[in-house]
Amino acid sequence: MPIGFTPCTSAAAAGFFCGQVVVPVDRSGLAVPTTTTISLPVMWRPALFADSDGTVFALAGGPGQAATPFAAQFATALAPALRTRDLIVFDQRGTGVGALKCPGAAAAVSFPQFIQQCAAELGPARSYYTSKDSALDMDAIRAAVGVEKVTVYGVSYGTYVAQLYARLFPAHTAALVLDSVVASPGVDAFLRPNFTSISSVLAANCSQHQCRGITRTPLNDLKRLTARARAKGVLSLRYVDKAGKVRDVGATQADLFYFMVEVFSFDAAVRSRLPGAIRSALAGDPYPLGRLFAPSPGAASNAQASSDTLYLATRCTEESFPWLPTDSVTTRKTKAMSALSAIAATTFDPFTPGTSLTLSDISFCVYWPTPTVPVDPTVTAPPPNIPVLILSGQEDNVTPAVEGKEVATLFPQAKRVGIPFTGHSVISDVWPNATTCVARSIASFFGGGAVASCPYVTPFFKPVKQDPVSLAAVKRVKLAGIRGRTVGAVLGTLSDVTMTELSGTGPTAGLRGGFFKGSVGNLQLKKVVYVPGVVVSGRLSLLSGLAKVTVSGQGSRGTLTIHRLKKFTTVKGTLDGQRLSIKTRTSPNDANVVTQLPGLIGLNLAPRPLS
């Protein structure tokens, strides 16, 4: 056991030992005395049998995300490697308990003033929260725990730090496992890979004919929607909040781009709903897309899980911008516009070039002050010739697959695996098909076997068709007339509630009215409206597939008991005073939930991805 480490007290950290490693803020001592230090929280877990194969370092994303809260998740994902390897998880400088903050800047009256006041509050130390500093910290931890060689697992931004560590310390790097890869040069200031990859992630979402009956050309649909947003200035959408109230929400073309990167990439349920929701919006129905743009109840708590201040300090110090650090704000803006104008406008299709300025780090780093002393965060050493496993979600537009391909060319021994129907941070994907593919890749890599591709993965949530705008648009289920359409509407309501409950974003509400609450084993539906005119209340268990509901509104009225099984769904009860007992085929999405969800209950079904 490393000196000074003791058993961690948290129940979630069972099997781990906790300690601290102290490092200087500024190793050069030029701007900050070397006596000014940072204490880094470190968690160490010994190998299950014997550490005959060294140690694995696990790095979270960001910049700004703490890693220690995900220690158990890392241990589960890397289990094949940890039989004979120790695991080290640590919070990079400026994250976690010691998160970098600038509370004094909260009183700023403008965004530029906030950025400048925050930088001033941090003082000269602000220039020493770079990725290179984190890589140097890693080696200090390696030395402190007494290991010679490490394998580095990084996810998202952590892949960038992992690459820097390998370049800086090739003699101490055994291998790399890179999940959702940031390109070797770092983030593009104008987000060009994110724009150019939109077509491929939409195509991946609809691959294997998954969007048959919904759309033939998802990219063309997005182009039409973006053009409409540009012409109108803002799309007028609607959603239902968690209290069942109808709310308005607007979406600009910049919002659409943000959605394609920061929402689409993280949520399988959102990806399954998007093609139909865009078609609905184009047809004049504001609810399906509005729901996807609704404020997420978890947004505030998620924001607290990482340090925005650390993100500022890291990006604004080390990112490559089209200006010099000593340039004035005015000169920086001029140079940024000049650099943008030199890029072909088609690069940003179907968006405008200006969208990139709105959402890139340029928008705030243009105000970040010049360092007090010159800082060089770059690493010029070549990549070492070591084994590298690269994992990329094919529906990831945060770190698009093209970046993984670029990094793979730098390492002669790299093995690259694309995970179908998976977004950002494949380690966070709890759905069985993707999880199986990832686990096999990791086991093969650490076991020294051949790493195979994953061509047979199917989505847990298949893309769903446009949501009906009237009862007349609902397909009858077994029964004639309005009773058959009402049964179809109720089944559609339960399917819609199921997907909403298992989504990581949006309010727990009906598409057009009402809300629900409870747990996956006991959801209470309160006047939920999915199809206009059909109001559903009652209980639904996603684990057993059993629902007991009352139906009211403009359709048939009555009570129904519904049992969803793997192949068939039974519906029994009374509608309009008449008894019914029917059996119909269970939808693929509902069948997946019924058969696979019980095995996932020990997991967090909507985890915050390691970004």
Q: What is the pLDDT of residues 58-92, one digit of tens each?
A: 999 999 999 999 999 999 999 999 999 999 999 99
Helix (H, G, I), strand (E, B) or coil at 541: coil
pLDDT at position 240 = 98
State the Cα–Cα distance between residues 325 and 369, nearest whole angstrom.
8
Closest CA to 315 of 38, 130, 120, 126: 130
In terms of residue numbers, what domain contains 549?
A: 471-600
| pTM across the whole model | 0.94
What are the b/e assignments for 170-190, b being 16+ CB within 10 Å?
eebbbbbbbbbbbbbebbbbb
Angle at 504 between CA 611 and CA 354, to 5 degrees: 55
Work out the burial of residue 526: count CB atoms within 10 Å of its CB; fewer than 13 is exposed, 13-18 middle, 19 or more buried.
middle
pLDDT at position 300 = 42
Averaged pLDDT for residues 477-482: 95
Helix then strand then coil, in percent of the chain rounded to 5, is 40, 20, 40
pLDDT tens digits for range 512-556: 999 999 999 999 999 999 999 999 999 999 999 999 999 999 889
Q: Identify each DSSP E strand in 8-54 by its residue range.
A: 17-24, 37-45
pLDDT tens digits for range 429-458: 888 888 889 999 999 999 999 999 998 788
**φ/ψ of residue 53, rounded to 5:** -115, 20
Q: Which of 177-191, 220-234, 237-251, 590-604 has the lowest mean pLDDT?
A: 590-604
State the Cα–Cα distance between residues 417 and 208, nearest whole angstrom.
18
**Domain-located, residue 523:** yes
Indicate whether 55 pLDDT > 80. yes
pLDDT at position 4 = 86
* Confidence bin at 53 (pLDDT 50/70/90): confident
Averaged pLDDT for residues 166-178: 98
Indicate whether 302 pLDDT > 90. no
**Domain-located, residue 484:** yes
pLDDT at position 151 = 97
| The total number of structural domains that make up the chain | 1
pLDDT at position 49 = 85
**Domain-located, residue 584:** yes
Round the average pLDDT of the chain to a whole number and report it.
94
**Domain-located, residue 527:** yes
Cis peptide before 33 (omega within 30 of 0): no
Closest CA to 187 of 321, 59, 91: 321
Task: Note whether 219 and 203 are within 8 A (CB).
Answer: yes
Does residue 484 or residue 296 have the better pLDDT?
A: 484
Task: Note whether 299 and 89 are within 8 A (CB).
Answer: no
pLDDT tens digits for range 235-255: 999 999 999 999 999 999 999
**Domain-located, residue 514:** yes
Length, in residues, of the chain: 611
Averaged pLDDT for residues 199-204: 97
| Type of residue found at 48 | L
Helix (H, G, I), strand (E, B) or coil at 190: coil
**Domain-located, residue 4:** no
State the Cα–Cα distance between residues 162 and 351, nearest whole angstrom.
33
Helix (H, G, I), strand (E, B) or coil at 537: strand
**Domain-located, residue 251:** no
**Domain-located, residue 533:** yes
Closest CA to 323 of 381, 368, 356, 282: 368
pLDDT tens digits for range 387-432: 999 999 999 999 999 999 999 999 999 999 999 999 999 988 888 8
Task: Note whether 595 and 542 are within 8 A (CB).
Answer: no
State the Cα–Cα distance between residues 56 and 175, nearest whole angstrom.
9
Residue 31 per-residue DSSP state: S
